[in-house]
Amino acid sequence: MDINDLQTFLAVAESGSFSRAAERAFITQPAISKRIAALEAELGAKLFDRVGRRIQLAPAGIALLPQARTILDGVGEAKRRIAALSRDIAGPLRLGTSYHVGLHRLPPALRQFYTAHPNVQLDLRFMDSEAACHAVEQGDLDLAVVTLPRGSNARLRREKVWEDPLEIVVAAAHPLAAARHLRLQALAEYPIILPVPGATTREIVLAALAPVRRNLRIGLETNYLELIKMLVSIGLGWSALPHTLIDGDLKVVQIEGIRIVRELGVVTHAARTLSNAASAIIEAIRATK
Amino acid sequence: MDINDLQTFLAVAESGSFSRAAERAFITQPAISKRIAALEAELGAKLFDRVGRRIQLAPAGIALLPQARTILDGVGEAKRRIAALSRDIAGPLRLGTSYHVGLHRLPPALRQFYTAHPNVQLDLRFMDSEAACHAVEQGDLDLAVVTLPRGSNARLRREKVWEDPLEIVVAAAHPLAAARHLRLQALAEYPIILPVPGATTREIVLAALAPVRRNLRIGLETNYLELIKMLVSIGLGWSALPHTLIDGDLKVVQIEGIRIVRELGVVTHAARTLSNAASAIIEAIRATK
DNA sequence: TATATCCATAACTTTTGAGAATCGAAATCA
DNA sequence: TGATTTCGATTCTCAAAAGTTATGGATATA
């Protein structure tokens, strides 16, 4: 059974004539004859009684008529829904973000997006950047707004949105806070407080500190930059933190030749089609850059 | 758009693979590829994302999936209605039955039906009652002959055919087997052997034992009454079993005020037209009541 | 790293379906 | 009543659609 056959059936039933149905469908009358014959063969029942040179719906045709309408309605609805996908921004959107990005970079974009597109069901999940990237790769998230991973992964598409410079900081009351020109070696005497192993930010900091990597004393590790800030400010060590976290409790230490920058942005699956909602929120994020 | 294309789409979406869908449809994999490509071209949207060597539904595919089911249901209904117009009883009949009903209640009806209507292709599947009801609801079965579910489900039509009283039983050699007047509390001292959670029979037994439900010690669980019979007869606990399973190894224990009855019968989809074959076998089942 | 699996593509073949021409039956008209 | 028109069925031809086989590239898997 074919959609065309059903449409033909409907046209014949409504027009009461093979010839008129043929005109309506812009095909020849023999084609109509054959389509109806094929339908009848498939269903094993006569759909029309050929009474002389006119036709009438047979019982099976009467039974089929409302069903054919239902089916064709369903087909139309399916087409309309898919066509709507290319216009409407709606439906579910699963977004993962890291604690830091979610709290300090995402809110404006989120507010704008949420008011502009109320039909999107936003499922916002906080997690660390690495877990978010993994979830995107697995198809468990539509996109992640996180610290962009280093290295390359062909399955992920990355778009840098923000540069997030990290400053080396010590407690305001720390002995090193007073020093005028500080050399890296002097810093390395004190313990460094770092994100947990595996975290991208940790990798970036360690890469920037490569000259003294051998001498670094790793003091504490935590998975949350706010905690690092707290630990540094009570004098447990030094670290590298983004501007947004630096306040009067901390002293920024400039070191010749050392510049630490991490990239924040959007990670999506390279091979999966983005929903309109996903594209729209990415656009909103770009706009608030 | 063609019915076949939709069926192909559904098969791919459900099996998660072009190759498996090809096997299911008895055509080659390139044919599947082409059908899906044709559908995608017609709808102007990608239905699947080809991620490496596996596939995932794209947004348009997610939108199409429920519509495709609706359309195909409509086609099936149309065919059934037309087939029902003719009086002959033939064609496929997918019947699900539980182990117990299938072995102890259905055989006479089945024998009569099978000899009376040799042109029916009977597809008889054993499964537990709950799975059978679910399959009927999904349209994967034409009817189920099972323990009737409690509660109400507007999508299912139930017809009670048999009452199946369950008797409380212990092993013939069990200490309680000798007791003259047994109170429920005394029984509850020993572990009860029950069908697995979710099984209707379990619910019925537990509802009947409501007075001591708190004190019940659930010893073992299994999904097959014959197994319960075996476990009880070797003395691992007590249970409630239908008469058909009770033999000399077991002792029936009468308890004042406790009567456990389950209902066995036919479950069909409330909104679907029954095929002639389905109506006929239901008639046969009623006749052997 | 080798192997197996999976989807896409190309080349070829078969099947399907449309059109042109024509026929027979029956309604319509002179 | 007989000629004419109308309508659906049939036949033949051809092009398009859809299937198969063979093969290739990419990627999980052992």
pLDDT in tens, B150-202: 888 888 999 999 999 999 999 998 988 888 788 888 899 999 999 999 899 99
pLDDT digits (tens, 9 = 90+) for A129-176: 999 998 898 888 999 999 999 887 888 899 999 999 999 999 999 988
For residue B55, give the 3-state DSSP assignment: strand
Nucleotides on strand C lying under 7 Å from protein C-beta: 5-11, 17-21, 24-27
Average pLDDT, chain B: 91
Identify whether the C-beta of residue A211 lies closer than 8 Å to the C-beta of residue A220. Answer: no
The pLDDT-based confidence of A181 (bands split at 50, 70, 90) is confident
Residues in chain A with CB shorter than 8 Å from the CB of B71 are: 71, 74-75, 78
Phi/psi for B46 (5° steps) reads -75, 130
Whether the beta carbon of A27 falls within 7 A of nucleic chain C: the reply is: yes
Residues belonging to chain B with any Cβ–Cβ distance to chain A shorter than 8 Å: 1-4, 43-46, 49-52, 56, 58-60, 63-64, 67-68, 70-71, 74-75, 77-79, 81-83, 85-86
Q: Minimal CA–CA distance to B245: which of B165, B178, B173?
A: B165
pLDDT at A270: 85
Cα B132 to chain centroid, rounded: 1
pLDDT digits (tens, 9 = 90+) for B134-153: 999 888 899 999 999 988 88
Which tokens belong to B233?
């007869």
pLDDT at B110: 94
Which tokens belong to B173?
């050699």
Distance from CA of B73 to the nearest CA of A (A): 9
DSSP collapsed to 3 states, A90-106: CEEEEEEECHHHHHHCC
The pLDDT-based confidence of A271 (bands split at 50, 70, 90) is confident
Under 8 Å CB-to-CB from B5, ≥6 apart: which residues? B35, B36, B38, B39
Q: Minimal CA–CA distance to B215: which of B189, B254, B176?
A: B189
Q: Minimal CA–CA distance to B277: which of B44, B140, B116, B134?
A: B116
Residues A16-42 have a mean pLDDT of 89
Give the one of A43, A78, A155 whose C-beta lies nearest to B82's C-beta: A43
Question: Is residue A196 pLDDT above 80, yes or no?
Answer: yes
pLDDT at B39: 92
Question: Is residue B2 pLDDT above 90, yes or no?
Answer: no
Based on C-alpha coordinates, what's the Rg of chain B?
24
Q: Which residues in B90-106 are b (16+ Cβ under 10 Å) and which e?
A: bbebbbbbbbbbbebbb
pLDDT at A151: 80
Walk me through the domains of chain B, giving residue ranges and CATH numbers.
3-85 (1.10.10.10), 91-161+264-287 (3.40.190.10), 164-262 (3.40.190.10)
Q: How far is the CA of A266 from the C1' of D29 (A)?
A: 31
DSSP annotation of B148? P
Q: Look at strands A54-57 and A48-51 and give their pairing.
A: antiparallel
pLDDT at B140: 85
Residues B15-22 have a mean pLDDT of 92
CA–CA gap between residue B253 and residue A126 (Å, rounded): 59
Identify whether the C-beta of residue B144 lies closer than 8 Å to the C-beta of residue B95. Answer: yes
pLDDT at B113: 93
